[in-house]
Chains A and B, each alone.
Chain A
Amino acid sequence: EVQLLDSGGGVVQPGGSLRLSCTASGFNFRNYDMVWVRQAPGKGLQWVSTVSPSGDSASYSESLRGRFTVSRDNSENTLHLQMRGLTADDAAIYYCARDKGVNGALVFDYWGRGSLVTVSS
């Protein structure tokens, strides 16, 4: 059974940093693109970042570039999102998800339960 377990959320002060993690099981993690998608409270979905299977290629939402860094450890089946310079606009549930892997289709077939990030002084 495919599972994605999000962790690392919490309360952080404006300007602070936080590192989210996502541990995968039930599939060959190193074969899949992985993504982060966030959802502000009561709002819609926003793609944050995608990382290639090897981890040597990543893309980001333009508005987040430079503050967020995605990485993965294929030996530990773990995905990370390092977030810096957090503002109130970054408060959201952050989901890790798996790219389904259908040729040319960036769609997300398995999702974690999400990590809640709250930005507050």
Chain B
Amino acid sequence: DIVMTQSPDSLAVSLGERATIKCKSSQSLLYSSNNKDYLAWYQQKSGQPPNLLFYWASARQSGVPDRFSGSGSGTDFTLTITSVQAEDVAVYYCQQYSHTPVTFGGGTKLEIK
């Protein structure tokens, strides 16, 4: 199975500051046939199911604020929140879907400093 490693495990950011979450896969998620990275990001707020933020590493799901962005390719990916708001407190997960079984990272908990 592909192992997804997220860092840091948790981070505390002041309101309005930038938050950066990393995700590293044990194998490349880039398919040369379509030049797409098979990587998604989810946000999970306390007591709620996950919410899809991005797929194909950087394709924003409808309704996701543009302060969120996804980037990276191959084995290294980043989720960035340019100006953290109080409602962004959550655990963020990356997920690969290039190989079965799909696998998730261990999650990064974002808190407000």
What is A's interface to B at a CB cutoff of 8 Å? 37, 44-47, 59, 61-62, 95, 97, 100, 102, 104-109, 111-114
Known: A106-B97, A107-B97. A47 touches B102 (CB 8 A): yes
- Say yes or no: B50 contacts A111, CB within 8 Å: yes
* Chain B interface helix/strand/loop/mixed: loop
Q: Residue on B with the closest CB to A109?
A: B52
A45 to B55, Cβ gap below 8 A?
Answer: no
| A47/B103 in contact, CB under 8 A | yes
| Minimum CB–CB distance for B51 against chain A, Å | 8
Q: Which of A45, A102, A109 contacts B93 (CB 8 A)?
A: A45
- Which residues of B are found within 8 Å of A114, using beta-carbon distances? 49
Q: How far is the CA of A3 from the CA of B82 in the complex (A)?
A: 31
Of B16-24, B69-77, B104-112, the one with at least 4 CB within 8 A of chain A: B104-112
Binding site for A on B (CB under 8 A): 34, 36, 38, 40, 42, 48-52, 55-56, 61, 93, 95, 97, 100-107
Give the contacting residue for B34; candidates A47, A100, A104; CB below 8 A. Answer: A104
Q: 6 A-B contacts, Cβ less than 8 Å apart?
A: A37-B50, A45-B95, A47-B104, A105-B40, A107-B40, A107-B55
Given A44-B105, A47-B103: A107 and B49 interface contact (C-beta under 8 Å): no
Complex Cα distance, B100 from A61, in Å, reads 9
From the candidates A46, A47, A104, A111, name the one contacting B49 in the complex (CB within 8 A): A111
* B61 partner, pick from A37, A104, A109, beta carbons under 8 A: A109
* Contact status A107-B95, CB under 8 Å: yes
Q: Beyond A95-B49, A111-B51, list 20 extra A-B contacts (CB 8 Å).
A: A44-B105, A44-B106, A44-B107, A45-B93, A47-B101, A47-B102, A47-B103, A47-B104, A59-B100, A61-B101, A62-B101, A97-B49, A104-B34, A105-B97, A107-B40, A107-B55, A107-B95, A108-B42, A108-B50, A109-B52
B104 adjacent to A100 (CB under 8 Å): no
Bound: A102/B102 CA distance, A: 15
Closest residue of chain A to B93, judged by CB?
A45
